[in-house]
Amino acid sequence: MKYYQSFFLLLIAPIFLFGSIKKNRTLDSTDENKYRNGPGSSISYSLFDGSIFAADTSIYEVRFAFNGYMTFHGDATDCPIRPNGTVVLKGLLKGIENIHGDDDIVYVGTLQLDIDIDICSAKGEGDNAKLCNITVTGSGLVKTELTIYYDGRGGYIQIRDTTSQGFRKHAGGTCDPAEIAEERQMIPLKTIATVFNGLDLPMLTHRTLRAGPSQFVRSPEGELLVEVIRKIR
């Protein structure tokens, strides 16, 4: 079985990052003013997801995007799947960067996740096995954590949970109904369709996040983009 993590082993090279806010709205000047109180302030603020953060917290707008497909078996040349599905994770990540040099920096945020992608799988056994597809769609807010290791080994991103708003999700396709039903239950925390859940990011070798140009990584399954849009504070 071809597990999705094998795809990301191909990523041990270039890079990626981007963002969004609660209720899918763009950060405007009114929102941005909430982050301006000057360095050294001990006041805490309420972010859009309701969390509290210290005045010296750094905040970045980020976007992760994948265009392609996922697979357990086969590839797009012989599997009845769409090769151009999309998964996007975007929003604000915040973290304390002024910490001891031997500590990892952890950024957290409630990001918008949108999934519309196909998974190639197989049904039947032996000579009767046939490739089939599972189409996974979903949309909602997810609690996300990005860790950057202190020693330059890169980073690691994972989705911790959904929110009280719930997560809209659906799975369908030509694979066995039991497999499709199981895949639906795993959306968004356990399905491979989420793409960015449990992903090593060896390219994030800077001590902190840094705004900069979009970076792409390509593989037979698709193209991965990571973008740090800007540092808000």
Q: Is 170 exposed, middle or buried (0-12, 13-18, 19+ CB in 10 A)?
A: middle
Say how far apart CA 225 and CA 130 lie, in whole Å: 32
Q: Is 143 exposed, middle or buried (0-12, 13-18, 19+ CB in 10 A)?
A: middle
Question: Residue 11 pLDDT more than 50?
Answer: no
* Least trusted range by pLDDT, from 5-9, 64-68, 194-198: 5-9
Question: Residue 117 pLDDT more than 60?
Answer: yes
- Provide the pLDDT confidence category of residue 125 given band limits of 50, 70 and 90: confident
> Which has more confidence, 101 or 37?
101
